Amino acid sequence: MRIGVVLNILDEEYQISVYKGIEQKARSLGVELVCFQQENAKITEDEPVSRFPKKEYFDLDGIILVTSVITGNADFTTKADVERIWGNLPVISVGQRIEGIPSVLIETEDSMKQLVEHLILNHKYRKFLFISGAEDHPDAEEREQIFTKTMEAYKPWFADLQYKLKRGYFTEVAAIRAMTEYMEEEKTSPDVVVCANDNMAIGVYKYFKINPKIKECAVTGFDDIPQARFEIPSLTTVHQPLSEIGAKSLELIVELKKGKSLPQEVFIESRVVYRKSCGCKGSKDDFASDEEQFRAMQANYVQSETLLRMVSHIGQDLNYGESFGALKYVVRQNLNQLGLNNFCILRFSSGNPKGPHLKNMPVDPLFVRRSGNECYEFDREMRMPLGQFYRRFYDIDPQTKPSMILKFLNAGNELIGCIFYEADENVLPYLSSIAINIAHGLNRITIADERRKRSEFLEREVNERTKELVEANNRRMEVEAEILKISELERQRFSNDLHDDICQRLAGISMLCRSYSNQDTPVEKSQMLELAQLIGETLATTRQYAHNSYPVELESLGMNHSLSNLCNTFMAQSGINCEYEWGMPKGVHFDKIQKLNIFRIIQEALHNVLKHSKAKNVWVSVKPEARKTVIKIVDDGVGFLNDSEENGKGNNKGLGLNSMQYRANQIGASFVIKSNKPNGTCVQLSLSNKLLEDKNKK
């Protein structure tokens, strides 16, 4: 049987005493415990409700709810309120009555009344100060009502009987503040200060030590925590059998789980313990002598100081740690001194868990110690659900069943992880402080680790981007060099054409004219016709060179007509059949740069067909396809690309191909050269219609 215990933080005697009673009874009955520490919070808020353990988180068979965890929840009083959190899971309430739920309660009314009557009748105190607990806390309200009712009952008998109420919130600091307010108002000390718990009574002691000039008075407490005996004078209080009610609650949850019918309320009697603080000489449970009390106080002080120094030392070491390895080292070095054989640090892997997501919230087991041995196998198995980790943790050593305590780790309002541990009673209060230090260290290291990873990512991105820029710059320089080389070759070819063709023709005409001028007879008509034919051929050739240098008709006649002429001229000069298709809709226009570059790419592709392909047919088309304008030059020749040269990636990429790629880049078009199945080559240029639309808008 696995029972969940839900209570407040285990850093004060009430919670610890109840829990130890539950734990001792669980060991004797062979029941497995999982204790969940919760911050005081409103049940109506979504976040606190979500952090209460559900049955499915740890396969729980029942819940013991120590209701001091539910502060400020006067409406949390019925079975329906409990079922909102745990459904039909068996629940036992400890400390507060919940309608429809078996509740273990302490009968305090008679004890509180008996204590007040003792102060009035035995010690004849007439001027009272009552320091109450937290507002809306059921125990605080009940004790305040009993005190007030008793005082009002005795007022008719004692005319000088008076009292005042102050709020103390169950803490020493709050009690000191309440005393300060009272003295500012009354100027003189009361006869006796009655406190709703022992912690506030000890706070009153400290107030008088801080203000030695103020006359001390009698003081009483409530709960009878162990420290009450060590105070000077020893504290008169109401003893609550906290361990007994813890043990009783476990007995009841076991019986409830077995299907037995239980009473709605089970009461355990409290009793007044008269010691020296109220003015009595003490009781039989007081120390036999002042020397014995002093030795007990000294032993308690030494143990407390040792643990406080250890907590401070651990906190400092955790504050200096800069890695998860350093955090684990600090924990590892101090566990033996704290007697922690079972201890785990878990980090939630993502975000702030809410509601049902907590069940499957992935955790990273940063540190796992089971039965005194560190479990390194979890270092390789990160990100598992919290419930799965808990089962794996128990399977490591199934022969032992420790009572594990869970404490959430918070960074502000964010839930960043939790710790699991088993500890002795005297160590429990100090583990709350250690948990805070671990949370701060874990949060700082996590943030630093995220920053480091982000920095490494940005560095990689910068390196990749730099590499891309260098490669792009190198490619640009290569392209510029190719363009310069192409320009030089074009100039050289143009120069050679002028020298070998036009100049030779002009030289022939010059020689012919000189010959005609030197003959004795007049020039005949046939000779003049021959001269005119030579001049006409030279003029036509010159025009063709000018046309090849810049196709003027692109502007005057349009792109469709210019490409048609280009294809017809190619077919006439090469003897290769060339079919041309223009499929662009009306209203689509190319700008001057687009026209010229597309024209030159087609011109260069046809030149390559003539020079390399040995083709019989070539097809040139300009058509729209799926938001793009696609220009294709396809032949049925032998092809000149192998697989490694697809898309111009081969090592034999010539000047013509570089020129076409460069021109495509100039107009933002994609350029592809691929094999045409079953034979031949396909040159394809794709231009986004958006580029055409932007140009048309401009």
Mean pLDDT, residues 617-631: 91
Domain ranges of the chain: 106-241+268-297, 558-697
pLDDT at residue number 677: 80
Question: Taking residues 668-689, what's their average pLDDT?
Answer: 88
Which residues are CB-neighbours of 524 under 8 A, at least 6 positions away? none
Query: Is the pLDDT reported for residue 527 higher than 90?
Result: no
With contact defined as beta carbons under 8 Å apart, do 233 and 154 qualify? no
CB 434 within 8 A of CB 308: no
| Percent of the chain residues topping a pLDDT of 90 | 33
Strand partners, 6: 36, 65
Stronger pLDDT, 145 or 75, i.e. the higher one = 145
Q: What is the mean pLDDT of the chain?
A: 83
Cβ neighbours of residue 691 closer than 8 Å, sequence gap 6 or more:
594, 667, 668, 669
**Beta-bridge partners for 345:** 367, 419
Q: Strands 404-411 and 32-37, how do they pair?
A: parallel
Q: Residue 169: its pLDDT value, please?
A: 84
- Residue 650: band (very low, low, confident or very high) from pLDDT cuts 50, 70, 90: very low
pLDDT at 516: 78
Mean pLDDT of 472-496: 72
Q: Is the pLDDT of residue 648 over 90?
A: no
The residues near 635 (Cβ < 8 Å, ≥ 6 apart) are: 609, 613, 615, 617, 618, 619, 676, 680, 681
User: What pTM was computed for the model?
Assistant: 0.61
∠ CA(226), CA(230), CA(231), 5° rounding?
115
Tokens at 153, concatenated: 């009952």
Indicate if the pLDDT at residue 495 is higher than 80. Answer: no
Q: Which of 304, 419, 299 is CA-nearest to residue 367?
A: 419
Is 106-241+268-297 assigned to CATH 3.30.450.20?
no
pLDDT at 497 exceeding the cut of 70 = no
- Res 580: pLDDT: 94
- Averaged pLDDT for residues 641-666: 62
Over 60: is that where the pLDDT of 686 sits?
Answer: yes
Residue 670 CB burial class (10 angstroms; 0-12, 13-18, ≥19): middle
| Mean pLDDT of the region 363-392 | 83
Q: What percent of the chain has pLDDT over 70?
A: 84
- Identify the pLDDT of residue 72: 54
Q: What is the pLDDT of residues 36-49, one digit of tens each?
A: 987 654 454 444 44
Does residue 405 register a pLDDT over 60?
yes
Contact of 691 with 667, CB cutoff 8 Å: yes
pLDDT (average), residues 21-49: 75
How would residue 355 be classed by pLDDT, with cut points 50, 70 and 90? very low
Backbone phi and psi for residue 143, each to the nearest 5 degrees, phi listed first:
-65, -40
User: What does residue 139 show for φ and ψ, rounded to 5 degrees?
Assistant: -65, -40
Whether 635 has a pLDDT exceeding 80, the answer reads yes
pLDDT of residue 239: 92
190-215 tens-digit pLDDT: 999 999 999 999 999 999 999 999 99
Instruction: Give the list of residues 6+ apart from residue 323 with CB closer than 8 angstroms, or none.
Output: 445, 449
pLDDT of residue 649: 42
Element of type H or E holding 169: none
Helix (H) or strand (E) run with residue 96 in it:
none
- Positive or negative, the Cα torsion across 346, 348, 352, 358? negative
Mean pLDDT, rounded, for 657-681: 86
- pLDDT of 422 over the 50 cut: yes
pLDDT of residue 644: 41
CB 601, CB 631: distance < 8 Å? yes
**What is the sign, positive or negative, of the torsion defined by CA atoms of 377, 374, 309, 171?**
positive
Fold of the 558-697 domain: Heat Shock Protein 90 (3.30.565)
Given pLDDT bands bounded at 50, 70 and 90, which one contains residue 326?
confident
pLDDT tens digits, 439-467:
888 888 888 888 888 888 999 999 999 99
In this prediction, residue 585 carries a pLDDT of 87
Residue 587 backbone zone (phi > 0: left; psi -120 to 50: alpha; other: beta)? left
Res 298: pLDDT:
66
DSSP per residue, 391-448:
HHHHHHSTT----EEEEEEEETTEEEEEEEEE--TTTHHHHHHHHHHHHHHHHHHHHH
Q: Which amino acid is at 260?
A: K
Q: Would you say 63 and 90 are in contact if contact means Cβ atoms under 8 Å apart?
A: yes
Residue with token string 């639309």: 693
Q: Which residue has the tokens 């077919």?
A: 571
Q: 299 to each of 56, 105, 224, 282, 294, how far by Cα in Å? A: 44, 34, 19, 22, 9
Phi then psi for residue 538, to 5 deg, are: -65, -40
Instruction: Determine how many CB atoms are found less than 10 A away from the CB of residue 327.
Output: 21
Pairing of strands 127-132, 62-66: unpaired
Verify cis geometry, omega within 30 degrees of 0, for the bond prior to 233. Answer: yes
Residue pair 7/38 in contact by the 8 Å Cβ criterion: yes
The pLDDT value recorded for residue 352 is 45
DSSP 437-491: HHHHHHHHHHHHHHHHHHHHHHHHHHHHHHHHHHHHHHHHHHHHHHHHHHHHHHH
In 95-139, beta strands by DSSP E: 103-107, 127-132
Would you state the structure tokens that stand for residue 475, as one six-digit string? 């490619």
Contact assessment for residue 358 and residue 51, using Cβ atoms and an 8 Å cutoff: yes
Kindly indicate the confidence band of residue 582, based on its pLDDT and cuts at 50, 70 and 90.
very high
For residues 17 and 20, give the distance between their C-alpha atoms in angstroms, rounded to a whole number. Answer: 5
pLDDT of 288 above 60: no
Residue pair 118/102 in contact (Cβ under 8 Å)? The answer is no
Per-range mean pLDDT, top range of 106-110, 198-202, 384-388: 198-202
Least confident residue range of 46-60, 162-176, 401-415: 46-60
